[in-house]
Amino acid sequence: MNPVRWQNAVTQYGLDAGLNDEQNNQQVEEILLDKITHQTSEFPGYAKIRRVAVIQEPWSIGNGLLTPTLKLKRAKVLEKYKVEVDRLYAGH
């Protein structure tokens, strides 16, 4: 995560920089979901986004989540972020 952009977001949205990552992520997820919902209001119900996850680590070749041609390694992403993915699909 870009520290300058993060600080700008903290200031712009009135986030508490003293909160731990989990609490801040929850606030950021709510802000993102609100923005996404606004942008996709014309989409049909089946295409609407209902949950988001904030991942602070960039996906890169170095951490094994992208190929050298910058394609996503889906199996690796699902393996590494299993908890987050399970949370996104909980109740479905």
Above 90 in pLDDT, residue 78? yes
pLDDT digits (tens, 9 = 90+) for 11-58: 887 777 665 666 677 888 888 899 899 999 999 999 999 999 888 788
68: Cα within 13 Å, side-chain hemisphere: 0
List the one residue out of 30, 79, 90 whose CA is nearest residue 54.
Answer: 30
Both structure tokens of 11: 């200031």
- 80's CB contacts (< 8 A; 6+ apart) are 65
pTM of the model: 0.70
Angle between helices 3-13 and 21-39 (to 10 degrees): 70
